Amino acid sequence: MAEPPIYAVALPVPLRKTFDYLAWDPLFPGPIALPGCRVQVSFGNQQLTGVITSVKQSSELPASQLKAILQLLDQQPLVPTEVLQLCQWTAHYYHHPLGDVLATALPVQLRQGAAARLVEESAWRLTDAGRHCSPAELARAPRQQELLAQLQALQTEAHHDALPLWHKDLLASGIKRPQLQALADKGLLQELQLSPAQLAADLPPLPPLREPHLPLNSEQQLALRQVEPGRFQCHLLYGTTGSGKTEVYLQAIDKVLAAGQQALVLIPEIGLTPQTLRRFQQRFQRPMAILHSGLNDSERQQAWLLAAQGLADIIIGTRSAIFTPLPRGGIIIVDEEHDGSFKQQDGLRYSARDLAAVRCQQLGIPLLLGSATPSLESYHNARSGRYQMLPLTQRAGGAQPPAMETIDIRGLPLQDGFSEPLLEHMRSHLQQGNQVLAFLNRRGYAPTLMCHDCGWMAQCPACDARLTVHQHPSHLHCHHCDYQRPLLQQCPNCRSYQLQPLGQGTERAEQRLQALFPDIPVVRVDRDTTRRKNAMEEIVSRVHQGEPCILLGTQMLAKGHHFPDVTLVAILDVDGGLFSTDFRGPERMGQLLLQVAGRAGRADKPGSVLIQTHLADHPLLQTLLHQGYSTYADILLQERQTASLPPFRYMALLRAESSRPENAHGALLQARQWLEQRPDSRELQCLGPLPAPMEKRNDRYRYQLQLQSPNRAHLHLALQQLIPQMDQSALAKRVRWSVDVDPQDMT
Ligand code: ADP
Ligand code: ZN
Ligand code: ZN
């Protein structure tokens, strides 16, 4: 008799291994469950949900020590082989426990063991009577009459008589249940409970497009022609804002849909880019699944299952959507590929953009990365021929790129950060009936509070950071650990009452602009004014009405939106970016500057950009403004090469933090000593342990050990050998440590 199978199960625990279990019923091992099925097991004294990763004939442990699976949760694998492989690759590459990778890949409820079932939802369908009833017959009930006409129009638009309309969609368009019920009482309308799967099965073939594609210009055509369904190739669609990248995405998606495949689109932050989303929805008449942080857990699970069951043709999501199962995956598109939000900064520190490349290679499908300001990594890959460069050099629709100039503010008086020449330009643009965008990448009222008499500054008690002054509501706030306290009236050091906010944030700039331009609305956009749901959309639609206004905000303004009536972009301060401690500082500064600049102008209203700086002659700034991003990126790449930095070196950061600095430092020092004892340690450079740029945060002291190698395999082998040592080390057990492969943020 064959031995009963052993199941290797990945569990959400911080151990870098899988755990062996016996079948759920030893007397009746039954059908063998496949990898990718979820199971309930006991682990220590808890019950956990895990995922079977392999089925084996034997275990290293004797059968008597193995526990049985408590319950099999899926008859069919919930995690398809392809996604399981992606998760295994991720766990290996980022040196992270597989169970935790799988937990990241699954929506919360599925991770906790919920049934993988699409729930039924309410929908409405016109009855035969309802389809043929003339709305005029309801003349005595005008609201019902209007509703009937509306529903009939919706069904005509959907090209299908008996197509059910989702209740939630009707609600969203302002229709209320009693109104629907009234029509149902007359026998004109019928309520149904449907799962999206049933709906899809009922759907007749629909024309895929709601509106026609735009005719492409020659560069767009060339780019689109390179994207071939069914062939792996990374493409970098490199074109300024407004050059028509999104139009290329839409038509590339059409190509794969025509081949019967699904498209996955990753975008940085959906809340900031409802316009992009709407363009996809307007173009395609295909089921879509949208995965973003604004969904509640069950909505998220629904969207995920729609994709996984192949019921959604287009999946749009943020970072973690890279793990969504795609039974018919045909293309992955990463919009604004340079955006920092594609890299997760805690726990599993993965890059969704990099995983997209891995996944496309596994699936043998194209990857389309798009940006006006590509990351130096992708730019380098495209320059060296690993990726295919697809340039779009013209603004589609004929708009001109903005003219960019500096204002040298050395010695000039500033009114809360605004110089007179800048205000002069703002005034003139506003007087001509245009809008102005003022960019200041610091929220709050002022970066700190200072005593005029003794120089004391408000410091966070838990961090090496100053407290930011906020006025609405009035308080002091640490943006690093969230510590808050009431605003002080008196200096704790010298008892003076001369406390003054130092420097400016958006709140203070807003106040000043309101005083300077009393007749012009000032619209502030930062994390504090956009916290409420739909706040950003409301701001955008207000600005789109086109009345003169000043749009003032942080980097949230750099993303996604286009403001056609803005003709002047005023940048208050760029100097910090040129002198960052992080080697990516200049890269980020350039990207941010061009992204903000690109928000403005249209064909008949070209934009101009003015940048206040104390460093007007700085060569990097001059290059960026007068020679463009490509030359800027080439120079930065040369500097990286000279300094042996990524992308010319592979890098990993070992971080440790502890309430006792000597422990954090000691654990990393020990790691370095281990690494240096390895026989081929010459291929690996260690830098550190050094205190992190912000040494103390949230009452913990933070240290880093930077590892670098010209050879990726070598770096990974070293980490692979180091980590089990760290896991065993008594010193490392006393600190919080983590590995960050390809770190993006060195703070
Ligand atoms: P990007 O994504 O690069 O910012 P978009 O695709 O949003 O650029 O295009 C910018 C504007 O130009 C949009 O209003 C779009 O409708 C228009 N556009 C794009 N491609 C074309 C084209 N081939 N012909 C005419 N207008 C176009
Ligand atoms: Zn004082
Ligand atoms: Zn703090």
Amino acid at 508: R
**Roughly what angle, to the nearest 10 degrees, separates helices 81-93 and 98-105?**
130
Indicate whether residue 447 lines ligand 1 (CB < 6 A): no
Sequence-separated contacts (24+) of 632-636 with Cβ below 8 Å: 632/590, 633/374, 633/376, 633/379, 633/587, 633/590, 636/376, 636/586, 636/587, 636/590
- Ligand approaching nearest to the C-alpha of 239: 1
Taking a C-beta distance cutoff of 8 angstroms, is the pair 739, 719 a contact? Answer: yes
Question: Nearest CA to 561 among 584, 515, 530, 590?
Answer: 530
Mutate to test the pocket of ligand 1, among 240, 247, 371 (most ligand atoms within 8 A of CB): 247
Residue whose CA lies nearest to ligand 1 atom number 23: 216
pLDDT score at 443: 92
Instruction: Indicate whether 638 pLDDT > 60.
Output: yes
Can you tell me the distance from the alpha carbon of 99 to that of 674, in angstroms, rounded to the nearest whole number? 27
pLDDT class of 198 with cuts at 50, 70, 90: low
Determine what percent of the chain is predicted with pLDDT higher than 90: 63
Taking the C-alpha atoms of residue 381 and residue 364, their distance in angstroms, rounded to an integer, is: 19
Q: Name the H helices within 295-335.
A: 297-308
pTM over 0.95: no
Q: Is 216 in the pocket of ligand 1 (CB under 6 A)?
A: yes
3-state SS string for 388-422 = EEEEECCCHHHCCCCEEEEEECCCCCEECCEEHHH
632 three-state secondary structure: helix
Tokens encoding 453: 């008499």
What is the number of other CB atoms lying within 10 angstroms of the CB of residue 157?
11
Check pLDDT > 80 for residue 491. Answer: yes
Q: What is the pLDDT of residue 397?
A: 63
**Beta carbon of 220 within 6 Å of any ligand 1 atom:** yes
- With a 6 A CB cut-off, is 244 part of the ligand 1 pocket? yes
Instruction: Report the atom number in ligand 1 closest to the C-alpha of 598.
Output: 4
How far does CA 466 lie from the centroid of its chain?
Answer: 28
- Indicate whether residue 242 lines ligand 1 (CB < 6 A): yes
**Nearest ligand (C-alpha, residue 456):** 2
Q: Which ligand is nearest to the CA of 494?
A: 2
Query: Per residue, what are the HEC states of 214-250?
Result: CCCCHHHHHHHHHCCCCCCEEEEEEECCCCCHHHHHH
Angle at 575 between CA 570 and CA 577, to 5 degrees: 105
Is the CB–ligand 1 distance for residue 397 below 6 Å?
yes
Q: Which residue has the higher pLDDT, 205 or 33?
A: 33
pLDDT of 152: 81
**Token couple for 625:** 């403004």
Q: Is residue 609 classed as helix, strand or coil in its secondary structure?
A: strand
With a 6 A CB cut-off, is 391 part of the ligand 1 pocket? no
DSSP 40-84: EEEETTEEEEEEEEEEES--SS-GGGPPBPSEE--SS-SS-HHHH
Ligand nearest the Cα of residue 467 is 3
Which residue from 274, 216, 286 is spatially nearest to 248, judged by alpha carbons? 216
- Cα(610) to centroid(ligand 1), Å: 25
Joined together, the tokens standing for residue 108 give 């919360």
Residue closest by Cα to atom 9 of ligand 1: 244
Residue 239 CA: nearest ligand 1 atom is: 3
Least confident of 23-27, 155-159, 252-256, 340-344: 155-159
pLDDT of residue 285: 80
Q: Is residue 243 lining ligand 1, measured as CB closer than 6 Å?
A: yes
- pLDDT band for position 607 (cuts 50, 70, 90): confident
Q: Does 252 contact ligand 1 (Cβ within 6 A)? A: no
What is residue 28's predicted lDDT score, i.e. its pLDDT? 64
Please tell me the number of the ligand nearest to residue 698's CA.
3
The CA-based dihedral angle spanning residues 214, 218, 219, 220, taken in that order and rounded to the nearest 10 degrees: 20
In contact, 739 and 32? CB cutoff 8 Å: no
Residue 164 CA to residue 489 CA, distance in Å, equals 63
Q: Which two tokens stand for residue 724?
A: 């089990």
Q: Is the CB of 251 under 6 A from ligand 1?
A: no
Position 636 pLDDT exceeds 80: yes
CA-proximal residue: ligand 1, atom 26 (nearest) = 397
State the average pLDDT for the chain: 89
Q: Is 245 in the pocket of ligand 1 (CB under 6 A)?
A: yes
pLDDT digits (tens, 9 = 90+) for 291-343: 887 788 888 998 999 999 998 999 999 999 999 999 999 999 999 999 999 99
Q: Which of 246, 253, 390 to mutate for ligand 1's pocket (most ligand atoms within 8 Å of CB)?
A: 246
What average pLDDT score do residues 194-213 get?
68
Residues in contact with 103: Cβ distance below 8 Å, sequence separation at least 6, in sequence order: 12, 111
**Which atom of ligand 1 is closest in space to residue 220's alpha carbon?**
23
Indicate if the pLDDT at residue 160 is higher than 70: no
Higher pLDDT, 730 or 269: 730
Q: How far is the CA of 574 from the centre of ligand 1 (A)?
A: 29
- Tens digit of each residue's pLDDT (9 = 90 or more) over 677-718: 888 777 899 998 999 999 999 999 999 999 999 999 999 999
